[in-house]
Amino acid sequence: MSSPSPRTAVVTGASSGIGAATARRLAEAGFHVVLTARRTERLEALAAELTEAGHSVAVHALDVTDRAAVDAFAAALAECHVLVNNAGGAIGTETVATADPADWRTMYEVNVLGMLNVTQALLPALTASGDATVVLMSSTAGLATYEGGGGYVAAKHGVHVIAETLRLELNGLPVRVIEIAPGMVKTEEFALTRFRGDADRAASVYTGVAEPLTADDVADTVAWAVTRPSHVNVDLLVLRPRAQASNYKVHREQ
Ligand code: 8X3
């Protein structure tokens, strides 16, 4: 008897950080993983590593803010059981009084409209699969705020309420909606992007913090939530490092 073909998982923003780690974890969990991001070189490298390890993967260059490209991607996809909306990010630390609206627009475009584009485009395939999961990568910034976070916090609050809205709207269909809300995660790019490439400022975010979360810690929770039995919907999973008790309260060793 031939074994059943693997279920397909699409991961956006899979070229680095939480997205790449999630792609690895889902491949290890037996999914055929479609890696998407703008930077194909990095995707190809990850795909080669996973293929070498015996996993089933495909690569598709995708800018989630380009709706026509997203629609073409969806049309070319044979099937989809899991969508991990991971692409996103923060730009700048300016106050509401001084922020550049262009930065806020970019953050809304990527974190909210990008997620909307991919989710809308893949929902027919997800629903048709008969047993699907949509993961939305929000943030603890989607649940509470902090000074200088305004634009990012607004976008991630958007992701949070869209997860809740989508879960209501899809009720009765075989599609789970899971929101993962990480706090302080040390990745190579998140803080660097926020601080516009200033490596010292980016590194200072983690100064004295014994063990910030890693991308793999988050990926582990995504894979865990996705692989629960189909009738179990992990609505919202908040994870922080032990050293972080809230967005504000972070224990730093001297
Ligand atoms: C990242 C968490 O605290 O930098 O999503 O906003 S925080």
Domains of the chain in start order, with CATH, are: 8-239 (3.40.50.720)
Nearest CA to ligand 1 atom 2: 183
Catalytic residue chosen out of the listed positions 146, 152, 206, 248: 152
Q: What distance in Å separates the CA atoms of residue 222 and residue 125, rounded to the nearest whole number?
A: 21
Q: 48 near 23, Cβ under 8 Å?
A: no
Nearest to 239 by CA among 179, 172, 162: 179
Q: Is 22 exposed, middle or buried (CB count within 10 Å of its CB: 0-12, 13-18, 19+)?
A: buried
Interval between CA 252 and ligand 1 midpoint (Å): 17
pLDDT tens, residue order, the chain (254 aa): 556 789 999 999 999 999 999 999 999 999 999 999 999 999 999 999 999 999 999 999 999 999 999 999 999 999 999 999 999 999 999 999 999 999 999 999 999 999 999 999 999 999 999 999 999 999 999 999 999 999 999 999 999 999 999 999 999 999 999 999 999 999 999 999 999 999 999 999 999 999 999 999 999 999 999 999 999 999 999 999 999 999 989 999 98
The answer, yes or no, to whether any atom of ligand 1 lies below 6 A from the CB of 119, is no
CA angle 149, 155, 158 (to 5 degrees): 130
Region label for 132, one of left (φ > 0), alpha (ψ between -120 and 50) or beta (otherwise)? beta
183 in contact with ligand 1, CB cutoff 6 A: yes
83 forms beta bridges with 10, 134
Regarding the beta carbon of 247 and ligand 1, being less than 6 Å apart is answered yes
Assigned token pair, 180: 């993962």
Is pTM beyond 0.85 here? yes
Q: Measured from the CB, is residue 241 less than 6 Å from ligand 1?
A: no
User: Residue 45 C-alpha to ligand 1 middle, in angstroms?
Assistant: 27
Phi, psi (5° rounding) for residue 172?
Answer: 100, -20
Residue 97 phi, psi (nearest 5): -65, -30
Q: What was the pLDDT predicted at 5?
A: 85
Q: Which amino acid is at 241?
A: P
Closest approach atom of ligand 1 to CA 194: 4
